[in-house]
Amino acid sequence: MKENINGVECEYEYVRRETNDGNTVVFLHGWGGGLESFSGAFRAVTDMGVPALNFAFPKKVPSDWGVYDYASYLNNFLRSKDISDPIVIGHSFGGRIGIITAAQGLCSKLMLVDSAGMRPHFCLRKKLAVARYHRSIKRGKPLDGSGSIDYNNTDPEMRGVFVRIVNTHLEKLLPYIKCPTLIVWGRTDGETPPYMAKRLNARIDGSRLEYLDGGHYAYVESHYGFVRLVKSFITE
């Protein structure tokens, strides 16, 4: 299904159980993903009789948007569906939105799956490469083959939004997350390395950290293990 909120369109799947008083589970995919990203886990949850929303972020947004605008958009959408205190499960970029939502006290539980939002560690060579890249962007002539896979796969009209988002770090919000939080990470994640999981775990009071075999998409590579964690977390 599609929905237009203030001129910005999103897609979603929503299974609502009129007789179920439990919290709705909201799945938030990573940058460039879609409804297919969490389709397996979404089906597993709805098969349990639990209400769930599989939410796909808008593909086109105003050029001045940042991560907080995406979070506001999601919260407006949830209000339009009378969804309150959801259990939020966010991967990568979706984890950024989950962090903001939880810090605002708007969810009952939070699962961060190889989440983005932490400031990366840069060696000197990496810092110099990033500096060269930013200079090329300012000149309007990006270096050939430069930028992340996500950046290169992003619509050129959306690249400014993407750069703004990846340069927004969310560590300052972590002490405000008070809901039960499970951090799930791929042991060999090279996009958001495991040290970021440890940092999240240390700074979110009472959080728990679980590892899966695989990289940044370990929730796909270790699908059954991930689904077991989801089922356990939403029912505990």
- Segment 33-90, tens digit of pLDDT: 999 999 999 999 999 999 999 999 999 999 999 999 999 999 999 999 999 999 999 9
Q: Which residue, among 115, 33, 71, has the nearest Cα to 11 in the 3D structure?
A: 33
Q: What is the pLDDT of residues 121-177, one digit of tens each?
A: 854 444 445 555 556 555 655 545 445 677 888 888 899 999 999 999 999 999 999
Q: Give domain limits for the chain.
A: 2-119+170-235, 122-168
Distance CA 222, CA 102 (A): 26
Q: Specify the pTM.
A: 0.90
Classify residue 68 by burial, with Cβ atoms within 10 Å: 0-12, 13-18, 19+: middle
The CATH number of 2-119+170-235, from 3.20.20.70, 3.40.50.300, 3.40.718.10, 3.40.50.1820, is 3.40.50.1820
How far is C-alpha 52 from the geometric centre of its chain's CA atoms? 16
Q: Cα-atom radius of gyration of the chain, to the nearest Å?
A: 18
pLDDT of 150 reads: 79
The mean pLDDT of 115-126, rounded to a whole number, is 75
